């Protein structure tokens, strides 16, 4: 179901984004994408930035923080540089959403611990260490929150824990939360 990751060798910012955007456009902008043939995935659900959907930046870049000295103070600066591990798998996102019942996808719901604490739907290609996260908007719409390649063992363990908690019904706030 999942093809080989894109070979992005030699691609650098900012040109790499022009190379990647047609994949996103093909899968989410030029055609409607639905989860389980009923939940529309709105590519503009998070708005636009630099003439591209905000989520495009979330699936091709990774937030980095560093502390720098400004005058006499240390200030934390956040950036979102290109993330080749995420970006190389941009063409995996739609197949994971539309083929969520494939055995290579572990599907689970999780209540977020930050912000408004929405319940989000996770699509985890566990054998490939790749995750896609979607949040529902109303009854029949959703938006793609992000996707990423898991690089740390502790994160992989967290996803396994959350999957197990959901499938075993250990989280009361997730009982009957399913979208379909």
Q: Where are the domains of the chain?
A: 15-172
Say what the pLDDT of residue 114 is. 80
Say what the pLDDT of residue 107 is. 97
Average pLDDT of span 97-113: 96
CA dihedral 167, 169, 172, 176 (to 10 degrees): 70
* 28, pLDDT greater than 80: yes
Say what the pLDDT of residue 72 is. 93
Phi, psi of 99 (to 5 degrees): -115, 40
Say what the pLDDT of residue 45 is. 87
Say what the pLDDT of residue 170 is. 92
| DSSP letter (8 states) at residue 103 | T
- Global pTM value: 0.93
pLDDT in tens, 38-82: 999 999 989 999 999 999 999 999 999 999 999 999 999 999 999
Say what the pLDDT of residue 64 is. 94
Say what the pLDDT of residue 94 is. 98
């Amino acid at each position: 179901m999942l093809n080989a990751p894109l070979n992005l060798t030699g691609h650098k910012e900012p040109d790499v984004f022009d190379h990647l955007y047609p994949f996103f456009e093909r899968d989410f902008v030029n055609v409607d994408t639905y989860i389980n043939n009923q939940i529309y995935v709105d590519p503009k659900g998070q708005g636009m930035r630099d003439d591209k959907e905000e989520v495009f930046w979330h699936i091709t870049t990774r937030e980095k923080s560093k502390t720098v000295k400004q005058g006499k103070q240390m200030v934390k600066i956040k950036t979102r540089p290109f993330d080749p591990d995420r970006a190389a798998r941009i063409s995996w996102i739609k197949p994971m959403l539309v083929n969520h019942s494939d055995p290579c996808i572990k599907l689970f719901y999780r209540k977020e611990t930050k912000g408004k604490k929405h319940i989000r739907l996770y699509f985890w290609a566990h054998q490939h260490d790749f995750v896609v996260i979607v949040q529902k908007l109303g009854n029949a719409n959703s938006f793609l929150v992000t996707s990423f390649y898991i690089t740390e063992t502790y994160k992989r363990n967290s996803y396994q824990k959350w999957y197990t908690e959901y499938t075993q019904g250990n989280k009361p706030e997730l009982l009957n939360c399913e979208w379909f």
